[in-house]
Amino acid sequence: MIHKPILFIFVLLLCSAHSYAHEDSLMVKTIKIGKHSFKIIQQYGKTDDKVLFLNVHEDEITSIETTEAYGEENPIHFIRIAHLNTRRLNFDIGSITFSVDPNRIYTRKGRRKTLKDGGKYSLKAAKQVKTFANLFLDFLKSREVIIAMHNNTDVNYSIKSYQAGGDEAQNTAEVYVNPEMDPDDFVYTTEKEYYDKLVAKNINVILQDNRKFVNDGSLSVYCGINGIKYINIEAQKGHYDEQLELIKVVMSIL
């Protein structure tokens, strides 16, 4: 006898409406900000996994593809924000369009700056973005390690940005560079233990300065403030094999 998948939908009307849909190992949570809806897609092999993979920039395709590929062979818990395949989230409140970077919304200072960078700021918009951020952060509860998946382009940003004189140097406690690796492929972490283990494996790695970092509202800053173990696996767009290998190396040290 063949059973059709069962679909559960829960609708909660709050300041920001949201709903859940569950089917086997996939859950979709829809959050409405202003007039626009954004999806948080949750894929998992086991819901009680202490390690959470996540992606917040939908246009960073390689990071999504490599995480899903790793997940096909290993049960993992993976969440990502889905919108319009863009880096920033754009939404309307009334007749005004606002824009935020979803990796800059986890502190008050970060929300203010990313809204202003997007061209418009209002207290109402900031409050709705905070609601979105808090709903997203709910996924981090009970997790021991957060692994953020990111991609960069072959311009401006690399591990060199974290060395002395670089744009990100203020965020750096320690940095290790393997000259044989592409500088666009690296790991960033809040944890000295993970940093040391990755150095031992000759991997490009940065240790965040959890006292002197720039409060840009990023997830790494939020985790640093709240004592949550955080790892960012960063690779140049298109470096599929390199990013997949970095996932394997990181998982081997946990």
Give the number of C-alpha atoms closer than 13 A to the C-alpha of residue 140, restricted to the C-beta side. Answer: 21
What number of residues does the chain have? 254
Say how many domains are in the chain.
1
**pLDDT confidence tier of residue 25, bands split at 50, 70 and 90:** confident
In this structure, is residue 3 part of a structural domain?
A: no
- The amino acid at 163: Q
Q: What mean pLDDT, rounded, does the chain reach? A: 91
What pLDDT sits at residue 47?
A: 65
Distance between terminal CA atoms of the chain?
42
In this structure, is residue 2 part of a structural domain?
A: no
In this structure, is residue 142 part of a structural domain?
A: yes
In this structure, is residue 22 part of a structural domain?
A: yes
Q: What is the mean pLDDT of residues 124-140?
A: 97
Spatial contact of 89 and 133, defined as CB atoms under 8 Å apart: no
Tell how strand 51-55 and strand 77-82 pair up.
parallel
Q: What is the CATH number of the domain that holds 19?
A: 3.40.630
In this structure, is residue 1 part of a structural domain?
A: no
Query: Which structural domain, as residue segments, surrounds residue 197?
Result: 8-253
pLDDT digits (tens, 9 = 90+) for 141-163: 989 999 999 999 987 899 999 99
Q: What is the 3-state composition of the chain as percent helix, strand, coil, each rounded to the nearest 5? A: 30, 30, 40
Least confident range from 45-59, 125-139, 161-175: namely 45-59
In this structure, is residue 91 part of a structural domain?
A: yes
Is residue 13 pLDDT above 80, yes or no? no
List CB contacts of 165: < 8 A, sequence separation 6 or more: none
Is residue 238 pLDDT above 90, yes or no? yes
pLDDT digits (tens, 9 = 90+) for 30-61: 999 999 999 999 998 876 789 999 999 999 99
